[in-house]
Amino acid sequence: MTLCESCDDAIVCPMDPILYSAVPLDRAHHLRRDDAAIGALVRRPDRLLVPLWRDLSLATPEGAVMPAGDIAARLLDLAGVTVFLGLWAGRPVFAADLSEAEAEPDGTPPRLGPDGAWTALKAVGGTLPADHAAILAYGRALVLWHRRARFCGICGAPTQSREGGHMRQCQDGTCAAPHYPRTDPAVIMRVDGTDEAGQPAILMHRQKIWAPGMWSVLAGFVEPGETLEEAVAREVREESGIEVAAVRYHGGQPWPFPSSLMLGFSATAIGGTLAPDPDELEDAQWFSKARIAAEFSDAHRTDGSGRPFLPRPDAIARRLVDDWLLDTPARGG
């Protein structure tokens, strides 16, 4: 994140691109309602396919696997849903839901022809080229939305894909409601304050379902009838008992697990007593820079020790913490 030289000190420009953002496609919105154009694009031999099987994406250590040619044609024949994602250097890119393909007898994912392994995007996204990870995330989000929107939320009738997969139409003639992909806004916030010794510190927490040793900043979904800033203050108050002010936007991260947009903020603690909500948090503590340096290590993530570690470097939560640890004006620390 940087401060524009021409901006007032209180105005923060967005973060540098973060994982799953900056999709390198021309989304070609003007083509979505042209069924003939979409049909021609899906038949092009140079079109690329982003396959998804159940909750898994296809990748190798070098990057995402996006078949073209005859392999893509075979996969398209198996697809339950196909979505036009856009144009990449002029080549059409489609996402395809292959979840109806049967698993192998031993329960492993089906071997459908392309090289690569079916793997969880959340596990490998940070190891892929950024443009590949962004395309996989974009395709994943749309495919998962289709699975959840097969029936009209108004009348309950079946829906059908329209506009290249970017809308579903209720098939009841009386209702005929259009349904569009949804994104759920969630705030994620670094709370700046002091520890018991009076040293600058940030508030981090643990949840019971997390891996032993993982700590992160607070987060929560935006509720109806509130601004993003109000959501930050409410979530911090509800989960930790701390009151905050000076809420500042730092940037966002698409988070297709399944359909969130993480909106990153910092805020300054101005009162309250730290009292973690036991229904939400396992623990919450103030961590100084010295304590983080002494206790936390990314090596603890995989060594089985249960000692503290921060979120993965590809997550906006980690970016918020790292910006504070760098302690430069340009980072808002």
pLDDT at 113: 84
> Helix (H, G, I), strand (E, B), or coil: what is residue 283?
strand
State if pTM tops 0.95.
no
Does residue 13 belong to any structural domain of this protein?
no
* Closest among 20, 247, 267, 258 to 125, alpha carbons compared: 20
For the cut 50, the answer to whether the pLDDT of residue 238 exceeds it is yes
For the cut 60, the answer to whether the pLDDT of residue 121 exceeds it is yes
* Sequence-ordered strand ranges (E) for 81-121: 81-88, 91-97, 117-119
Tokens (6 digits) for 193? 């304050």
Domain span at residue 70 reads 29-148
Residues 137 and 262 in one domain: no
Contact 136, 121 (CB under 8 A): yes
CATH of the domain at 250: 3.90.79.10
Number of domains present in the structure of the chain = 2
Residue carrying the six token digits 């396992």 = 282
pLDDT at 115: 87
Higher pLDDT, 6 or 254: 254
Tokens (6 digits) for 168? 């579903």
Does residue 190 belong to any structural domain of this protein?
yes
For the cut 80, the answer to whether the pLDDT of residue 328 exceeds it is no
Write down which residue in 128, 148, 168 finishes a domain. 148
pLDDT tens profile 216-228? 999 999 999 999 9
Question: Mean pLDDT over all residues of the chain?
Answer: 92
CA distance 122 to 120: 5
Which residues is 91 bridged to in the sheet? Answer: 88
Does residue 249 belong to any structural domain of this protein?
yes
pLDDT at 58: 95
For the cut 50, the answer to whether the pLDDT of residue 2 exceeds it is no
Task: Give the pLDDT band of residue 6 (cuts 50, 70, 90).
Answer: very low
Task: Tell me which DSSP letter residue 108 carries.
Answer: P
CA distance 126 to 299: 16
CATH of the domain at 64: 3.90.79
For the chain, percent of residues with pLDDT exceeding 70: 93
Compute the average pLDDT of residues 247-274. 96
pLDDT at 15: 60
CA distance 47 to 133: 18
Task: Tell me which DSSP letter residue 40 carries.
Answer: H
